[in-house]
Structure 1
Amino acid sequence: MRKSLMRMTLRQLQVFRAVCESRSYSRAAEEMALTQPAVSLQIRQLEELVDQPLFEYIGKKLYLTDAAEVLLKASADIFGRLESLDMQLSDLQGSLQGQLNLAVESSAKYFVPHLFAAFKRQHPEVNLHLVVVNRAQVIKRLSDNRDDLVIMSLVPQDMALEFLPFLNNPIVAVAPPEHPLCHAARLTLKDLEPYPLLIREPGSGTRKACEEYLQQKRAHFAQTLEVASLDAQRECVSAGLGLALLPRHAVNLELAGGLLRELPVEELPLYRSWCVVHARGKRLSPVAQAFLAFIRSERAQISALAARFGGTANAPR
């Protein structure tokens, strides 16, 4: 090992990570409660130790060099090991402490906080750092080892992943209560085709699942309107801009309050399983291990939570 690397400090790595995340020396300085010259000095010293530049400006934008990308991954491992050590020491004292870094697909954001709250009742000293992204971003975060665990559906088959299905995610057709289809006692997907369909942005897991299912069922919608978030999609349906295929968990309150109606479509719900996922061979922190164990052992409690959201109470087998 280069002797210069042994002189690297954790403080330098903290400042470096802050610059990487904010892509700005000034914002990193504000976050770290330092002056901008102090941040610049820490980065210069770090560049001397690795003997390569870490950042470069193109126009007014700050970019990471290849050396910075490598150092960022190494720093994530270092701080991850320290956090794991802290958790293990807490465990030896008889209590589980630490933070669960969890990334979830956007359509799971309504259910997951309640799932974590149930876990936290067993481990009150554990905290949550939750990131909500679409499926494409979840896959990128898995590839970059950014999180302890992720929760997603449609787990990619071309990656070395471990996953545990734990809850069915029913996707249903919804419409505003004044829509003419709401008067029907029975519908098929073909009956929905004359109306505009609101769809999510490319990269959305719900969009991918629905597109594959509609293709399988030979249902074709000539009129589609792309909406960049599930919340906006739901509001557009409420405004009468079209129909949508949405996770029932995400529209439970609107269905219960009569703001939206679930259409009685024969081919629906479309069921996909929520899975908790991590890279194969990943060293899980004690908190991540405990969360996985909770999901494995508390199926009845998870099913009861799902029932509150209007979803199926049956966990995948």
Structure 2
Amino acid sequence: MRKSLMRMTLRQLQVFRAVCESGSYSRAAEEMALTQPAVSLQIRQLEELVGQPLFEYIGKKLYLTEAAEALRTAGADIFGRLENLDMQLSDMAGSLQGLLSLAVESSAKYFVPHLFAAFRQQHPEVSLELTVVNHAQALRRLTQSRDDLLIMSQVPKDQGLEFLPFLDNPIIAVAPPLHPLCSRGALTLQDLTAYPLLIREPGSGTRRACEEYCHQKRAHFALTQQIGSLDAQREAVIAGLGLALLPRHAVQTELAAGLLRQLDVAELPLRRSWCLVSSHGKRLSPVAQAFQRFVREQRAQIQQALALRFEPAG
């Protein structure tokens, strides 16, 4: 190992990480409660130790060099190991403490707080860092090992991922209460194709699942409108802009309040499973191991408790 790397300090790596995450020396300085010259000095010293530049400006935007990407990965591993050590020491002292870094697909954000609250009843000194992403972003974060665990549907089978299915993810058709289809009885997916369908952005797992299913059922929507988030999609349906195929977890409050109606479609709900996912061989922290064990051992209770909250009465 280069002797210069042994002179690297954790403080320098903390400042470097702040610049990487914020994309700005000034924002990193504000976050670290430092002056901008102090941040510049730390990065300059780090570049001398590494022997290569870490950042470059193109226009007004800050980009990481190849050396910076390598250092960022090494730094994440170092801080992860220190966090893991802290958790192990807490565990030895008889109390599980630490941070659970959890990324979830956007449709899961409605039930995950309730899931974590149940976990924290057993481990009250564990805190949560929750990141909400779409399906494509979730896969990228897995390859970068940016989170302890990830909750997603439609787990790819060709990426060597370890996954634990633990909760149904029913996708239903919804419409505003005064929509013509609400006054009809049993429907088919084909009946829905005469009306505009509101869809998520490319990269959404729900969009992908629905497109594949509709193609399989030969239900082709001539008119679609892309809406950039699940919340906006739900509001657009309420506003009367079209129909949508949405996870029931995401619209149960609006269904109960009468703002949306679930259409009685023979081929629906489309059922998928929410899974707890990690990269194969990833070394999990004690907190992540405890959460994984909780989900595995409490699957039946989780399903029952969340069904009471998110499934329709009767």
Instruction: List gaps (5 residues or longer) in structure 1.
Output: 313-317
Paired with 2:242 and 2:60, the residues of 1 have a C-alpha distance of 41
Match for residue 128 of structure 2? 128
SS at match of 2:100: strand
Match for residue 315 of structure 1? none
Paired with 1:130 and 1:79, the residues of 2 have a C-alpha distance of 18
Paired with 1:81 and 1:308, the residues of 2 have a C-alpha distance of 39
The structural deviation recorded for 1:305 is 2.6
Work out whether residues 166 and 303 of structure 2, in 8 Å CA contact, stay in contact via their aligned partners in 1. no
Work out whether residues 151 and 274 of structure 2, in 8 Å CA contact, stay in contact via their aligned partners in 1. yes
SS at match of 1:101: strand
- Structure 1 stretch 299-308 or stretch 111-120: which is displaced more? 299-308
Match for residue 307 of structure 1? 307
Identity %: 76
TM-score under structure 1 normalisation?
Answer: 0.97
Paired with 1:69 and 1:157, the residues of 2 have a C-alpha distance of 28
Matches within 5 A, 1:14-33: 14-33=14-33
Measured on the aligned residues, the alpha-carbon RMSD in Å equals 1.1
Paired with 2:311 and 2:154, the residues of 1 have a C-alpha distance of 18
Paired with 1:41 and 1:69, the residues of 2 have a C-alpha distance of 20
Instruction: List gaps (5 residues or longer) in structure 2.
Output: none
SS at match of 1:281: coil
SS at match of 1:109: helix
Match for residue 66 of structure 2? 66
Work out whether residues 170 and 272 of structure 1, in 8 Å CA contact, stay in contact via their aligned partners in 2. yes
Structure 1 runs, 4 residues or longer, greater than 2 Å off: 308-312
Match for residue 259 of structure 1? 259
Deviations 1:243-268 (A, max 9, x none): 00000000000011111000000000
The structural deviation recorded for 1:306 is 2.0
Is 2:157 the partner of 1:140?
no
Work out whether residues 5 and 49 of structure 1, in 8 Å CA contact, stay in contact via their aligned partners in 2. yes
Work out whether residues 255 and 261 of structure 1, in 8 Å CA contact, stay in contact via their aligned partners in 2. yes
Aligned pairs, number = 313
SS at match of 1:131: strand
Work out whether residues 248 and 309 of structure 1, in 8 Å CA contact, stay in contact via their aligned partners in 2. no
The structural deviation recorded for 1:185 is 1.7
Paired with 1:130 and 1:173, the residues of 2 have a C-alpha distance of 28
Is 2:113 the partner of 1:113?
yes
The structural deviation recorded for 1:65 is 0.1
The structural deviation recorded for 1:116 is 0.4
SS at match of 2:198: strand
Deviations 1:58-88 (A, max 9, x none): 1111000000000000000000000000000
SS at match of 1:241: coil
Is 2:195 the partner of 1:195?
yes
TM-score under structure 2 normalisation?
Answer: 0.98
The one-letter code of the counterpart of 2:213 is Y
